[in-house]
Structure 1
Amino acid sequence: MAEFDLEDLDNISKSQEVLDLLIQKGIIKEKKFLEQLKYEKELDELQSEMLHLQEFIIRNQKRLLIIYEGRDAAGKGGTISRTIAKINPKKYKVIALPKPTEINLKEWYFQRYIDHLPIQEEIAFFDRSWYNRAVVEPVFGFCTEEQYQSFMNQVNRLEELLIDDGIILIKFFLNISKEEQKDRLDERKEDPLKQWKVGGLDQQAQEKWEVYTLYIDKMLQETSTVKSPWIEIKTDDKKEARLETMKYILKSVEGFESKLDLENDAEILKVWR
């Protein structure tokens, strides 16, 4: 059976008779269909452009590190999966580390993350990162106050060293409203295909909302620098958030020129300075 692709959707939108029939039969709603088509077209263009960016990175032997942090259910995994959809799997890696082992706990805190930094011609996507120690760990008491302060004192210097050595570093913080987070967490619990996403800490995301907010605000304020700013993305609309992150990535690599309109929406994306 032939696949029903973006071109087919585009053809439907241009054929008023077909569109009218689908609306009449209750198969689609015109406004929702056209909004979805617009999103799919822009997503397709940006995903293709991500491949061109990757080719530029390979040709110029660059290293790109993209960190995705955010509240629970803010869409980190979904955003990464859309971003990597068309790029060469041999030249990127997605890092989502499990909880520290006994050996990890005896190491310098950053050590296990450094092992996964990108090499030349590679993009590394961190699905959560060393910033666990800035928010999750202190919220749940997984680190001491001394360990937390040590991290906050070291992280800006570490990132400056990485950037000075040639790594291109982008840090996204995906934010979400309390109401939308509740809806998504409830949906995960009810959907058998999403229940694997619900971890022990997710259960307390709503209960500890204010404590999370305290540490998140401090992280954004104290670890956003001129060289390594935080890019905060509002993700109540998942689709718009995905597009905005890709636009920002595509215009952040010096020397790469895109023909696409990469202007970000200031209502969705904020650069911390």
Structure 2
Amino acid sequence: MEPLLKACCVSYSYHSPEGATPALFQVSFTVNPGEFLAIVGPSGCGKSTLLSLLSGLLEPEEGTIYIEDTPLKEASTGIGYMLQRDHLFEWRTIRENAALGLEIRHRKTKEAMQELDEMLQNYGLAAFASAHPSELSGGMRQRAALIRTLILKPDLLLLDEPFSALDYQTRLSVCDDIASIIRETKKTAILITHDLAEAISTADRVLVLSARPGQVKAEIPLVFAPQYDSPLKRRNAPEFAGYFKQVWNELRDPDHNAFQ
């Protein structure tokens, strides 16, 4: 299987009058079509910088990112980006918020809006289509944000700690909900998270970055029995504790607090 995404020796530094601050160094990895990759690492190791590079918001100083063997800046593949907060506009209804990307890209056709309404129905938001964001729970708002992203049919979905603003109980439920939706739609996804349990419960593989400048320290494939087919079920799988220990051991560094 040919990778959908390939990062080859990617490096990036932030520059200021005081000098350069390396964020990433010689980062290389691939992501296959339909794969769910989670990226974890110490605070400040360049996780969010890497996502900005993968989205095309930044360009690598060294190395190249390929989408289906085409350099990212020349690729036509659609990339969706789901941020830490839902960024729904209070003056728009949930349906109008979910259709925002279609409007911006001039793709708000009758057919697209019918598909949007079907997604609202399938993901439990049809009854709230005319509601405003403040009338919804945090989890429902995140589902609306996901629909806004998915309706544009991205080939690659980038998730920048999309559950971090939620309380713990809601976070577990919404993570389970959204990860299941991503798998049902067979989207290729990359999740950035500080939560090791979240990474292990959602992903097919975990990429561990070192302390800054971030380098690939380990790649850990995750294999669960078929009955553990959702993030919540995976947390109760016998393999879960072993994977957690493996990822934690890769993150441990006597000279660096991984969660400072």
Between the two structures, name the one with larger relative contact order (CA 8 Å, sep ≥ 6). 2
**Structure 1 and Structure 2 fold alike (TM over 0.5):** no
Which structure has the greater CA radius of gyration?
1
Structure ranking higher in helix proportion? 1
TM-score normalized by structure 2? 0.29
TM-score normalized by structure 1? 0.28
Structure ranking higher in strand proportion? 2
